[in-house]
Every structure is written in C-alpha cells, then in structure tokens.
Amino acid sequence: MDIKLQEVGFSYAQNTPFEKRALHDVNIAIENGTFHAIIGHTGSGKSTVLQHLNALLKPTEGQIQIGEKTIVAGKKEKDLRAVRQKVGIVFQFPEHQLFEETVLKDICFGPMNFGVPEQEAEQRARQLIEVVGLPPAILEKSPFDLSGGQMRRVAIAGVLAMDPEVIVLDEPTAGLDPRGRQEIMELFNRLHHEKNLTMILVTHSMEDAARYADAITIMYDGESVLHGTPREVFSDAEKLAAYRLEVPHIIQFQKQLEAKIGRKLNTLCLTEEELAKEIGQLVREERDQS
C-alpha cells in the first residue's frame, strides 16, 4: 500500500489564539513494500507526521493518500476504520496501552474491534506471541505482571494482530537495553522481509535508519527537507548538520579512518559488518601489493 503526503500542513488548536503550525509543506512518498525512515531533530514534527499516516490527525492543508483513500484538508471523513486497520501504529512506549486482564485478551482487542471473530483472533495471538519471542504460557498472565520489555512485545503483538499492511513505528526501542533494542529492530526487519510489510520508522537514531531503511526522509522545523537512500542522505555530513543531525557513528568512523590512511574506501558503509568487510578487502589488497 502506497502512502503519499502532498503539501501537507497541520496546525494544532486551529482558529484559537493558541494556534500553532506544526507542519508545513510536507511531501513524503512511501512506496509499497519498502522500509522508510523518517528522521529529524526533537520538535521537527516527525511525531505529528506519524499521526497523519493513519488519520489520527487530519491535515489542515494539502492532502494525504493512504492506499485507496484520499484525505483532503478541510473535508470531513466518516469511516476511517478501514484505514486504521491497514496502517498499524506502534506508539512510543506502547506498553502504556495495555489494559486487559490477560495478555491473550489484550492482543485480541485490536482485531476484534475490526470485526475478526474471537476464535481467529485467539489463533493469531497464539501465533504472534511466538513471533515476538515470548513463551505461549504468558498469554494467560496479566499484562501488568510482566517486565517492561515483555510488555512492549505484547503491545507490538497487539498491533500485529490487526494484520496491517503497513506498520508505523515511533521510536520502538526507546528505553530498552542495547540487546532488547537490537532484538526488537531485528524482529521488525524480519517481518518486513518475510511478510513483505511496509515499514515506516520514525526515529532519531541515525544508526537504525542507516541499517534498516531503504529510503529516508528528513524533517526539519515542520517541513520535509531531504529525501533519498541512506547512502545519499548520509554522504553529506555538512548538510545534515544544518538540520541538527549527525551521520551515523559508523560513517564518522569511516571518514576518520580514510583521513588517517589517506585513502578512500570503495563504498560508504552503513553498518559495522559492511565496514569490516571493506577494511578486510583493503588489507588484502595492501598485502597482495607488497
């Protein structure tokens, strides 16, 4: 499912003295089946954009196309349920949305709201609890008895259970330990590849964006200012600095290395693995020459 934002603007508290224009001239095209990252400094408007992606907020300027549905500024929309079923959002600290008596019921909450029969919802829950890496026995427990990391996985399973075509992630790893971070990101990456889900990651972690995204949009001061593949976006450190962002650590490392040895590597490496391979290659070449 393609999502396209065209000239989108949004003002909070419109037509009151507290009116605040949070977004203007936002243009983002998210292609079906891609892993798209939206990055930006704190207060750049990325969370506001996120809420437009399944019509929790409606634009006050411009228009948004979500699959078949087009949401135009100023027009009343009645049935947004279909859109919300297709675009699942994993909010920041999603564990705060848990409320049911058991994990099973909580995972079933979403799908049953969208008219999935109880039996099928339960079947999905049993399957998904393993996908997110938790033992099935946890289904009968109260979500409030779990650890923070487990609660987050349950909440993620609750969103996945709606069987969305697009998953929007808002800082999904905030507050997790390094290992938990990696596991959660790997989980989404796996879902992206195995189920061909379109992923939209809203983050300020340049590392995650570099490692997982196919395309990146940079937000600055309520506006979408830069689009491209990670290599394109991260090749210009000065431009990023103007948007109050840094290139990923691994690229900083590569630049320093290149300056030190006085030689350029063949490609811009986005992950540690890539860089290790490049350096290995370099070492081999050097050895062969001498």
Partner 1 sequence: MMEKMIFGRFIPGDSFVHKMDPRAKLIFVFAFIFIVFVANNIPAYIALVVFTFFIVFVSRIRLYFLINGLKPVLILMIFTFLLHVFFTKGGDLLVEIGFVKIYEEGLKQGIFISIRFLVLVFVTSILTLTTSPISITDGLETLLNPLKRIKVPVHELALMMSIALRFIPTLMDETDKIMKAQMARGSDVTSGPIKERIKAVVPLLIPLFVSAFKRAEDLATAMEVRGYRGGEGRTRYRQLKWTGRDTIAMVVFVVLAAILIYLRIYY
Element (H, E) at 82: helix 81-86
Whether the CB-CB separation of 154 and 146 falls below 8 Å is answered with yes
Residue 49 binds partner 1, judged by CB under 8 A: no
Residue 76 binds partner 1, judged by CB under 8 A: no
Nearer to partner 1, 23 or 233 (CB): 23
Residue 54 binds partner 1, judged by CB under 8 A: yes
CB 283 to partner 1: min, Å = 50
- The residues pairing with 4 across neighbouring beta strands, listed in sequence order, are 29, 65
Residue 51 binds partner 1, judged by CB under 8 A: yes
Q: In what order do the strands lie in the sheet with 61-66?
A: 20-30, 3-12, 61-66, 69-72
Element (H, E) at 169: strand 166-170
> How many residues does the structure list for the chain?
290
Q: CA of 66: how far to CAs of 69, 159, 183, 268, 277, in Å?
A: 5, 18, 29, 34, 40
Nearer to partner 1, 12 or 243 (CB): 12
**Only segment of 15-23, 124-132, 182-190, 194-202 that touches partner 1 (CB under 8 A):** 15-23
CB 217 to partner 1: min, Å = 21
Residue 102 binds partner 1, judged by CB under 8 A: no
Residue 97 binds partner 1, judged by CB under 8 A: yes
Least Cα distance to 93 among 165, 183, 154, 160 occurs for 154
Residue 96 binds partner 1, judged by CB under 8 A: yes
Binding residues for partner 1, rule CB under 8 A, total 27
CB 192 to partner 1: min, Å = 19
**Only segment of 86-94, 122-130, 223-231, 278-286 that touches partner 1 (CB under 8 A):** 86-94
Q: What is the 3-state secondary structure (H, E, C) of 233-249?
A: HHCCHHHHHHCCCCCCH
Q: Which residues in the 105-164 window bind partner 1 by CB under 8 A?
A: 109-110, 113-114, 144, 158-159, 162
Residue 81 binds partner 1, judged by CB under 8 A: yes
Q: CA of 219: how far to CAs of 157, 182, 185, 243, 248, in Å?
A: 29, 25, 22, 8, 17
Write the CB contacts of 206 (distance below 8 Å, at least 6 apart in sequence): 39, 234, 245, 246, 247, 248, 249
- Out of 4, 6, 9, 12, the residue judged to bind partner 1 by CB under 8 A: 12
Distance, in Å, from the CA atom of 220 to the CA atom of 209, rounded to the nearest integer, reads: 16
Residue 24 binds partner 1, judged by CB under 8 A: no
Residues of this chain that bind partner 1 (CB under 8 A): 12-13, 16-18, 51, 54, 56, 81, 84-85, 88-89, 91, 94, 96-99, 109-110, 113-114, 144, 158-159, 162
